Amino acid sequence: MRGPHNIWRLVRTGATLERTGAMNVVLDAFEAPPALRFVARTLGLPFKWLGYRGDPTMPPATRALTALGPAYIKFGQVLSTRPDVVGDELAVQLRVLQDKLPPFSIEEAKAEVERELGLPVDQLFSEFSEPVAAASIAQVHRAKIAETGEDVAVKVLRPNIERAFRKDVDAFYLAARMVEIFSPGSRRLRPMDVIEHFDGVVRGELDLRLESSAASEFAANTANDEGFQLPPIKWNLSARRVMTLGWADGVPLGDNSAIDAAGHDRVALGNRVLQLFLNHALRDGFFHADMHQGNLKVAQNGDIIAYDFGIMGYIDEYTRRVYAEILYGFIRRDYKRVAKVHFEAGYVPADKDVDEFARALRAVGEPIFGMDATRISMARLLTYLFEVTERFGMETRTELILLQRTMVVVEGVARSLNPHINIWEIASPIVTSYITKSIGPRAVITDFANTAMVLARFGPRLPALVEDALMAQANPPQVDRRPRKRWFALTAMIGALVGVGLVATIEVLL
């Protein structure tokens, strides 16, 4: 339940950071200025005794986030992929949040499987292991299907996870509301909308039936992607709080030593991770939105294996084209075009100066090109981008939040494999190919065909539309509304006929 009582949760957040020793670690990682350090310590120290103690065997930051709950753990998972932002030491500490959290007992897991699937575990599986991975929301057991002998992974939600996450997200809502009230300048970032979007994503992750469906659709879209594979879903052994899929054998993508020992090319793997993500986002508009190292493996043949489909992203065709044009403009260093795309899409208010915005974008993009990626401070770059968007009144685009977040995570994964990777060089062929296909003559024909198909759906209604039009003409109405309806009916009829003809013609041409 939302309300002022969540202030207590926010107070305990700061107190927990202080008590676990994570406050200094976090401030150092983000290179906080002296003024911010003073405020943070002044507010944290008096309430230190209210903080959660956490597991003293864990490093400070990991200890604090695990003590605070699943929503905070999710945040830590994202930061673990960005050593360029938080530093190598903190990134390594946070990486255990991906799949090495304390598990719940195997007895609880078996009881949950039995409740969800309606049969004892021993009847469904001939083997059922102790937890092999435990994350913020669920844990995974390796099992063998009794009927077929196939090795599978059984994912089971944590007990009472729905309630725990609700508590965290409610506190986030309060924090977002307080930011809007006390910092009017931040309203353009729409913090409440951001939290609502995050809330919706997590609710989907807490229903494993939706995850199974997403995995099935993702598998259909990527069936022909070279160097990429997904474990198959076992629908008969999946439910709301239990999901069963084929076992993925491979080396964890976060273990560089094991990857090197297996003889895999880390540079090629880093490039492929970025290319796969861009292909899925631009080509399909449906992408894996939680691509951290804990959800990726490298198969023996060198294929990248993805799993854990609780968070998937979707962007419509128009947004994909806008996103691709922006990337394409940066790749070509055509900042004027990038600025115009922002204005055309309504991302920047029309009363701002497009040339001035283009110059600001040039200051963001130019340092990237021709420079070793290890010399680029993403923390400083993100800070400057924030200043630019604030200056030009750009609002947060909630439909792009997941895309932007995933891009940050994927770049972090790729950089962990190859510290010298340059995302723009790797992105160029993918974005260029998409632009060629989506903003060219063939794309115009395809758009025309899709429009014609919509019009053609009026076909079965043509007789009724014609009859309505003729009846309206034979019996003039008393008010001046039926003529409009008559014209609408005739227009729809003509449009449907034209649509049918266009579809037939385009099918011949294509």
| Strand order through the sheet with 296-298 | 228-229, 304-306, 296-298, 251-252
Phi-psi group of 445: left, alpha or beta (phi > 0 → left; psi -120 to 50 → alpha; rest → beta): alpha
Other C-beta atoms closer than 10 Å to the C-beta of 115 total 11
Task: Write the single-letter amino acid at 387.
Answer: E
Other C-beta atoms closer than 10 Å to the C-beta of 271 total 18
Containing H/E element for 62? helix 60-68
Burial 132-162 (b: 16+ CB within 10 A, else e): ebbbbbbbbbbbebbeeeeebbbbbbbeebe
DSSP state of 397: -
User: What is the residue whose two structure tokens read 């090795």?
Assistant: 151
Provide the strand spans (E) within 135-259: 138-145, 151-157, 228-229, 242-246, 251-252
Our answer to whether residue 290 is catalytic in this structure is yes
DSSP state of 305: E
Q: Which residues contact 88 (CB under 8 A, 6 or more apart)?
A: none
Task: Write the single-letter amino acid at 403.
Answer: L
Task: Write the single-letter amino acid at 455.
Answer: L
Q: Which residues lie across from 128 on neighbouring strands?
A: 143
Containing H/E element for 312? strand 312-314
- Residue 147 phi/psi, 5-degree rounding, is -75, -35
Residue 352 and residue 391 in contact, taking contact as beta carbons nearer than 8 Å: no
- Residue 222 phi/psi, 5-degree rounding, is -110, 15
* DSSP structure string for 414-432: HHHH-TT--HHHHHHHHHH
Candidates 290, 308, 334, 468; catalytic one: 290
- Residue 418 phi/psi, 5-degree rounding, is -140, 95
> Residues 79, 83, 86, 88: is their CA dihedral positive or negative?
positive
Other C-beta atoms closer than 10 Å to the C-beta of 280 total 24
Residue of 248, 250, 245 lying closest to 216 (CA atoms): 245
Residue 268 and residue 346 in contact, taking contact as beta carbons nearer than 8 Å: no
Question: Helices marked H in 97-190 — which ranges?
Answer: 106-117, 121-124, 161-182
3-state secondary structure at position 366: helix
Task: Give the active site residues.
Answer: 290
